[in-house]
A and B are shown apart, each in its own frame.
Chain A
Amino acid sequence: DAMVIQNPRYQVTQFGKPVTLSCSQTLNHNVMYWYQQKSSQAPKLLFHYYDKDFNNEADTPDNFQSRRPNTSFCFLDIRSPGLGDAAMYLCATSPQAGAWNEQFFGPGTRLTVL
């Protein structure tokens, strides 16, 4: 089945220790998104790629970086995690840019910062 896969599902890191979260998709979608979701809140968009075109949200901290080496994979790098970065990180894909914008989410990676 075509899907969005996130690894790992649970990630524990130490304060200040870099961490990378990964996302892969078999949907062949052009657009990939990274969201941060804190408990009982709506997902907050960090950035997205339209093909290789990177789009950063204005309020995304510099501590968060992303890479998309090919259509299928996208990575979220947190350079120096703080306690406030503990959250669920969601990857999503969309077939194209535009008004329909149906997004398909992965299961998420729950990040714990000790």
Chain B
Amino acid sequence: TQLLEQSPQFLSIQEGENLTVYCNSSSVFSSLQWYRQEPGEGPVLLVTVVTGGEVKKLKRLTFQFGDARKDSSLHITAAQPGDTGLYLCAGARAAGNKLTFGGGTRVLVKP
């Protein structure tokens, strides 16, 4: 059973379009991270959200943590080819030091 469900699994859009990736769970997480991974490289941490309802912005990326801390979303405005990659959400429970990863969303931004 995957505790974090990401959707969609794959997204192909044209440069300049907007996109949203969702990360959902029936479990409460103390914190949730978003990573981007490019082919042949390790995941790179984009953001950590810890407070229910929290919204964080990183240039054209907007991250939101659900009020109940069970879900999160990543919105990219005016996507660029450099945004292409595998986006992973990962949650940490209240105790312990392990992350639960979602299945990933592969994003392709075509020029």
Contacts and interface: CB of A to CB of B under 8 A. Distances in A.
Contact of A41 (B30, B94, B103): B103
B5 to A, nearest CB: 11
Contacts of B101: 42-43
Q: How large is the interface on B (under 10, 10 to 19, 20 to 34, 35 or more residues)?
A: 20 to 34
A97 interface: yes
A40 B35 CA distance: 14
A74 interface: no
Contact of A101 (B41, B42, B43, B99): B99
Interface in A35-65: 40-43, 45, 48, 50
B73 interface: no
A48 B98 CA distance: 9
A107 interface: yes
Contacts of A45: 98-99
22 contacts: A4-B42, A40-B86, A40-B104, A41-B104, A42-B88, A42-B103, A45-B99, A98-B97, A99-B30, A99-B31, A100-B48, A100-B50, A100-B92, A101-B31, A101-B97, A101-B99, A102-B48, A103-B33, A105-B43, A105-B45, A106-B42, A108-B41
Q: How large is the interface on A (under 10, 10 to 19, 20 to 34, 35 or more residues)?
A: 20 to 34
B111 interface: no
B102 interface: yes
A45 B43 CA distance: 14
Contact of B40 (A43, A100, A110): A110
A96 B92 CA distance: 13
Contacts of A73: none
